[in-house]
Amino acid sequence: MTTNENARPASELNPEHTPRAHWAELAPDVYKAMVRLDAASRRGLDPVIAELVKIRASQLNHCAFCLDMHSKDALAAGESVQRIIQLSAWEESRHFYTPKEIAAIELTEAMTVLTDGFVPDEVWQNAAKHFDEAELAHLVAAITTINAWNRFAVTTRMVPGHYQPGDIKH
């Protein structure tokens, strides 16, 4: 992690919020099942795409804990700061991503923001052009899984900022 000479001293920052519940401790079987689901959904999926999907879904769901975790994991795996930052405005920053990554990001948005209706055929067809059937099935599972993680974290108000890559073994 780099030092930011413009960072504010802790005494000037707002205090951290308190989590509502430590759900992983209170429902350990559910947590373990989620970890297994997460691991299974990532098998056969490009790790770069998996992290981009996790970050984009977490942005859409306003999940600060998962944004912290997956941005740090992506950086530790060699992802660029620029691509992580531009992900929130990917439609104007398409030139930072491959067509396959764009297809995954589009599918992530369609599956995450279901208030817009079902996943459009053109989004599915574009993803199907870039992913074979097994990859696409794993991509759908990975997007579904990060959305579930986001809901656990946002609902229980998990606190961002303390995660270090490798803290949680997948």
8 Å CB contact between 122 and 73 = no
Whole-prediction pTM value? Answer: 0.89
List, for residues 108-139, the tens digit of each pLDDT value. 999 999 887 899 999 999 999 999 999 999 99
What is the rounded distance in angstroms from the CA atom of residue 154 to the CA atom of residue 146? 12
List, for residues 54-86, the tens digit of each pLDDT value. 999 999 999 999 999 999 999 999 999 999 999
- Phi, psi of 157, deg, nearest 5: 55, 50
Tokens 């369609």 correspond to what residue? 110
Token pair in block for residue 70: 């997956």
